[in-house]
Amino acid sequence: MFPYEHVIYFDRASKIPVYRQIAISITNAIRNGILKAETRLPGSRELAKTLGIHRKTVIAAYEELDAQGWITVIPRKCVSVAAHIPSLKPQKWIAGDIPASYENDLNLPFRIVEEHIADEDAGSVPEIIIDDGHPDVRLSPIADLLKTYRSLTSRKYAIKSAHTGTTQGTLSLREALVSYLSVTRGLNSSVENLLITHGAQMSIYLAAQLLLERSSRVIVGKPNYPVANKAFEEAGAKVIEVDVDDQGIDTDAIEIICGKERINAVYVIPHHHYPTTVTLNVERRMKLLELSKRFSFAIIEDDYDYDYHYGSSPYLPLASAHHRGNVIYIGSFSKILDPSLRIGFMVAPKNFVAQCMALRSVIDVSGDGYMQNALATLMNGGELKSHIRKAKKIYHRRRSFLDNLLKEKLEKYVSYVLPTGGMAIWIKLNPAFSLAQLALNPRLRISKIDKERNAFRFGFASLDETELEQAVGLLETGLQRMEGGVANQITQR
């Protein structure tokens, strides 16, 4: 007799009802060719006895299998495996559970995007994380946002409206944004020029996918926000790097390149270039606009950091100038409220927005309409404005506080230029010290390190004064220890 007791597994402690476990076991046995088509199965009484369970449980399992077409039940006569199960090549039965198929690799050809994926941050959370410039979520009006979100989900009208029209972003968020961009940036747009995305990166990706192809060339700063470069490479374009100095990207160099080869797009981060935090000066802004006109290239203006400028008002975006529609303007709320809140935007001519929408609907349909409407409510009620005003003051203070701390504690180890805005200071470590080694401290995590330049972005916005002191303290201790090590090595010679 067939060893059902070895084929059918169940665990009374499992969350899955026993009858389903039995049905699954039998299904697996059929799938594996152990039980062939039309094989007669034991009667319910017999199987119940073999397995030491109640007969009703077996009946329930058989009913389930019957309903799903795996077996044929002729009441009071017999139970057998259905006739039309294609017989797979029988396999040797492996005692124990079926091995998980997902333990295998996928052995079909597929595209490799990245040779080595960096390990995700380990599960343990260190005392201090130095990010590359995140807002302090503790200051953000998240509670207000969620209160509105919640009230929206309980209103009938909102339920209907949140379902529709969200590929472009909800109308109310686009309306609020048109007014916000006009007031803060002198940017003259309409709801048709706006696309709400999951953040600045998605706007870059969409623009890259539509503007660039295999033969295209795009100019970027060197160094540059690395994920933007990846988006351009993903579109198949050749990425041409142009130096970024203390006034921003070198527009004279761009002019020379444009004279030699066809350039399709230039990507700039005019406020607080990533990673070096430089602001693009006025002369170069003008020049860039002029070049864009002369050589017919699109400007992808990533202005993610516009709202935090501490000296004067920030420069108006290139997108606010007279550019005849060839500036794709990109911004995000992740830097204003919460990096976890995935809402960003693109401002572009209507014909381009329409195509971005078409592509976006293929990528992920749409965003979270409730969250967008809740954000619109926050903007219309003035809470966003007053949050930015408050946060700006606090971040300004934190920047100065960190500046003083760095001067006091780390002057001999680091160099930097205090940025006029943004949420991070670009800090270069003196060549005698290794940043990679410094970052090994388990009590401290530096989230983005540029090993090539022995430098990192010290995000000061998300840490309060005590935390900044703690972070600098941990850096100081590490550097002193390294210095000791260096001194020891010298002494030993």
Mode of pairing for the β-strands spanning 265-268 and 71-74: unpaired
Distances (CA, A) of 230 to 78, 198, 209, 226, 234: 63, 17, 12, 6, 6
Rounded to an integer, what distance in angstroms lies between the CA atom of residue 184 and that of residue 41?
Answer: 75
Least separation in angstroms between CB 53 and a second copy: 18
290 scored as a contact of a second copy (CB under 8 A): yes
Buried b (16+ CB within 10 A) or exposed e, 338-369: bbebbbbbbbbeeebbeebeeebeeeeebbbb
Strand order in the sheet with 424-429: 414-416, 424-429, 455-459, 449-450
Mode of pairing for the β-strands spanning 444-446 and 128-130: parallel
Which range touches a second copy (CB under 8 A), out of 38-46, 47-55, 96-104, 402-410? 96-104
Phi, psi (deg, nearest 5) at residue 249: -70, 145
Closest to a second copy by CB, 271 vs 409, is 271
Options 82, 240, 388, 394; binder of a second copy; rule CB under 8 A? 82
164 scored as a contact of a second copy (CB under 8 A): yes
Helix (H/G/I), strand (E/B), else coil: 30:
helix
Closest to a second copy by CB, 324 vs 412, is 324
433 scored as a contact of a second copy (CB under 8 A): no
Closest to a second copy by CB, 395 vs 413, is 395
Options 12, 76, 111, 260; binder of a second copy; rule CB under 8 A? 111
Within residues 26-55, the interface with a second copy by CB under 8 A covers: 27-28, 31-32
Least separation in angstroms between CB 171 and a second copy: 7
Closest to a second copy by CB, 76 vs 138, is 138
18 scored as a contact of a second copy (CB under 8 A): no
245 scored as a contact of a second copy (CB under 8 A): no
Which range touches a second copy (CB under 8 A), out of 162-170, 300-308, 408-416, 471-479? 162-170
Q: What would the x/- binding string for a second copy be over residues 451 to 480, using CB under 8 A?
A: ------------------------------
Closest to a second copy by CB, 28 vs 39, is 28
Query: Token digits for 179?
Result: 């007014």
72 scored as a contact of a second copy (CB under 8 A): no
CA 397, 401, 402 angle in degrees (round to 5)? 120
Pair 36, 82: CB distance under 8 Å:
no
Within residues 209-238, the interface with a second copy by CB under 8 A covers: 209-211, 213, 227, 230-231, 234
Pair 459, 132: CB distance under 8 Å:
yes
3 scored as a contact of a second copy (CB under 8 A): no
Rounded to an integer, what distance in angstroms lies between the CA atom of residue 359 and that of residue 362?
Answer: 5
166 scored as a contact of a second copy (CB under 8 A): yes
Pair 347, 323: CB distance under 8 Å:
no
Query: What contacts 319, CB < 8 A, 6 or more positions away?
Result: 185, 187, 301, 303, 327, 329, 347
Closest to a second copy by CB, 216 vs 454, is 216
Phi, psi (deg, nearest 5) at residue 121: -55, 140
Rounded to an integer, what distance in angstroms lies between the CA atom of residue 167 and that of residue 369?
Answer: 9
Rounded to an integer, what distance in angstroms lies between the CA atom of residue 132 and that of residue 386?
Answer: 24
Pair 343, 371: CB distance under 8 Å:
yes
CA 412, 418, 424 angle in degrees (round to 5)? 100
Residue 417 CA from chain centroid, whole number: 29
434 scored as a contact of a second copy (CB under 8 A): no
Query: Token digits for 149?
Result: 């979100």
Which range touches a second copy (CB under 8 A), out of 50-58, 154-162, 409-417, 421-429? 154-162
Closest to a second copy by CB, 400 vs 404, is 400
Which range touches a second copy (CB under 8 A), out of 50-58, 72-80, 347-355, 426-434? 347-355
Within residues 352-391, the interface with a second copy by CB under 8 A covers: 352, 354-355, 357-359, 361-371
339 scored as a contact of a second copy (CB under 8 A): yes
205 scored as a contact of a second copy (CB under 8 A): yes
Pair 291, 242: CB distance under 8 Å:
no
Q: State the burial class of residue 475 (Cβ atoms within 10 Å of its Cβ: 0-12, 13-18, 19+).
A: buried
Within residues 175-204, the interface with a second copy by CB under 8 A covers: 183, 186, 188-190, 193, 197-199, 201-202
Least separation in angstroms between CB 187 and a second copy: 8
417 scored as a contact of a second copy (CB under 8 A): no
Q: What would the x/- binding string for a second copy be over residues 302 to 331, using CB under 8 A?
A: ---------xxx-xx--x-xxxxxxx----
Closest to a second copy by CB, 21 vs 276, is 21
Which amino acid makes up residue 102?
Y
Which range touches a second copy (CB under 8 A), out of 2-10, 43-51, 140-148, 421-429? 140-148
Which range touches a second copy (CB under 8 A), out of 40-48, 90-98, 408-416, 434-442? 90-98
